[in-house]
Amino acid sequence: MMPQLGETVTEGTITRWMKSVGDSVERDEPLFEVSTDKVDTEVPSPAAGVLTEIVVPEGETVDVGTRLAVIGDGQAPAAEPAAPAAEVQAPAEPAAPAVSTSPPPPAATPQAIRAEVVPPAPQAPPAPPGFAAQAPSEQDETAEDGMLLSPMVRRLLAENGISASQVRGTGLGGRINRADVLSYIDAQYANGRPSSTGTAPSTLPAAAPSAPVPPAPAPRAPAPTQRALVPTAGDSVGPFSNVRRRTAEHMVRSKQTSPHAFIAAETDFENVERVRRSHGGRFRAEEGFSLTYLPFVARAAVEALREYPHLNASVAEDSLVVHSEVNLGIAVDLDYEGLIVPVIHRAEEVTLRGIARRVRDLADRARTRQLSADDIAGGTFSITNDGPFGTYFTVPIINQPQVAILATDGIKRRPVVVTTADGTESIAIHSVGVLGMSWDHRAVDGAYVSAYLRRVGEILGSRDWAAEL
């Protein structure tokens, strides 16, 4: 089946089969390569056996869950020789009398099976203003310059009057994927011009002359409180990119699924800041990157989940699945074009330095589209980190089917009240930030989340981080 390669990914393109029909394949042996908007990766075989059928050929884009191939045990008897094409296509013989014992109809051909399994390609969005539309080409999957293109990519290129040579491919081997085409379209709008084959708009694109058609029904008048949004001169109008559409679908689904609630707590990071000041230079020399606040927060968050395990959970229908392992997802920004959440598996077994290394590695590979399927699967709890941008208060959306997501915001030097050794109070300057959590009210209540955030703050303020580092 087409695997789910990321929370917001709903489809993928088969870019290469590594085995042919009749080849033996071992369990976990690389079977095919798949390309999505966020990941290009090899997918291992789920079982050992013989590849008896490839249902989805290279270049096809299909939905998650679509059957791609069949692996058998290699023990089935050889199939009957296929009838010549002329015989297969010949008209059927007249029906025999009821008493006749005619053979059963032949089994469906592979083409027929494929037609039943593969869903129709999704309908392409309407051509944006200023782009000359044309009928999709009926050629095969190879573009005129020899590049292999999926049907969806060819359709987008044709409907928007774009040549494949105009688009820079970011897929495997420089292959053009749908995101590349949509990015090209977006760039044309941003530059104030359509593709070279389109017609440049003036202020708003004028309607092209067309043959008379029957008048369409009058549109329903909007409610009195609604106003139709009409672009004005100087406005930039362009379609959402594929990544933005998929992110929107996932976020809307999450809001519709979970009764979201939010709690935040101000947290003292002075204990962490001392370690960063005293050990930061050595850490950077040893590791090649800076020691940020995020590994400390991640380590404390994972440690606190031992005491509050119902936040390391997922909702399955009417049940709460409390996970025994903490698979920590870290949201990574893809150059302002979208998000992906790679996972640190079994994070409860990883030290502070190990978490820092893994966060850095996953972020680097996410931005270069080098994550594997395992890197983005199985998350049980997530952290989103807007702190580097100096934010104060972030309310994130839950990463389904998880029940909680922790947000870390900017940490600033502020005056705080502290208790001295003799019990008196004093004013000191500490590094202070806000930790916030969005959580699913079906799973837990506010007191549970508040106690968890307090425990995270206690760990950050009391742990001997220098020794662990």
Residue 452 lies inside a defined structural domain of this protein: yes
pTM of the model: 0.59
Out of 80-94, 397-411, 449-463, least confident range = 80-94
Residue 287 lies inside a defined structural domain of this protein: yes
Determine which one of 63, 140, 364, 441 is catalytic: 441
Tally the domains of the chain. 1
Residue 284 lies inside a defined structural domain of this protein: yes
Determine which one of 28, 250, 445, 464 is catalytic: 445
Residue 81 lies inside a defined structural domain of this protein: no
Name the residue range of residue 256's domain: 247-468
Residue 328 lies inside a defined structural domain of this protein: yes
What pLDDT band is residue 152 in, cutting at 50, 70 and 90?
A: low
SS3 string, the chain, reads CCCCCCCCCCEEEEEEECCCCCCEECCCCEEEEEECCCCEEEEECCCCEEEEEECCCCCCEEECCCCCEEEECCCCCCCCCCCCHHHHHCCCCCCCCCCCCCCCCCCCCHHHHHHHHCCCCCCCCCCCCCCCCCCCCCCCCECCCCCECCHHHHHHHHHCCCCHHHCCCCCHHHCCCHHHHHHHHHHHHHCCCCCCCCCCCCCCCCCCCCCCCCCCCCCCCCCCCCCCCCCCCCCCCCCCCHHHHHHHHHHHHHHHHCCEEEEEEEEECHHHHHHHHHHHHHHHHHHCCCCCCHHHHHHHHHHHHCCCHHHCEEEECCEEEECCCCCEEECEECCCCCEECCEECCHHHCCHHHHHHHHHHHHHHHHCCCCCCHHHCCCCEEEEECHHHCCCCCCCCCCCCECEEEEECCCEEEEEEEECCCCCEEEEEEEEEEEEEEEECCCCCHHHHHHHHHHHHHHHHHCCHHHHC
335 is catalytic: no
What pLDDT band is residue 7 in, cutting at 50, 70 and 90?
A: low
- Region 376-388 average pLDDT: 94
Residue 207 lies inside a defined structural domain of this protein: no
Q: Write down the pLDDT at residue 42.
A: 82
The CATH number given to whatever domain includes residue 443 is 3.30.559.10
Q: Write down the pLDDT at residue 380.
A: 96
37 is catalytic: no
Residue 461 lies inside a defined structural domain of this protein: yes
Residue 360 lies inside a defined structural domain of this protein: yes
